[in-house]
Amino acid sequence: MSKKDLIAMGLTEEQAKKVMASLDGSFVTKARFNEVNEENKAFKRIFKKLLKGA
Residue 39 sits at the vertex; the CA angle it makes with 35 and 41, to the nearest 5 degrees, is 115
Residue ranges making up the domain that contains 7: 3-53
Given a cut of 90, is residue 36 above it in pLDDT?
A: yes
Residue 8 sits at the vertex; the CA angle it makes with 10 and 12, to the nearest 5 degrees, is 45
Q: How confident is the model at residue 54 (pLDDT cuts 50, 70, 90)?
A: low
Quick one: what percent of the chain has pLDDT higher than 90? 70
Identify the pLDDT of residue 9: 96
Global pTM value = 0.54
> In the predicted model, what is the mean pLDDT of residues 27-45?
94
Count how many domains the chain has.
1
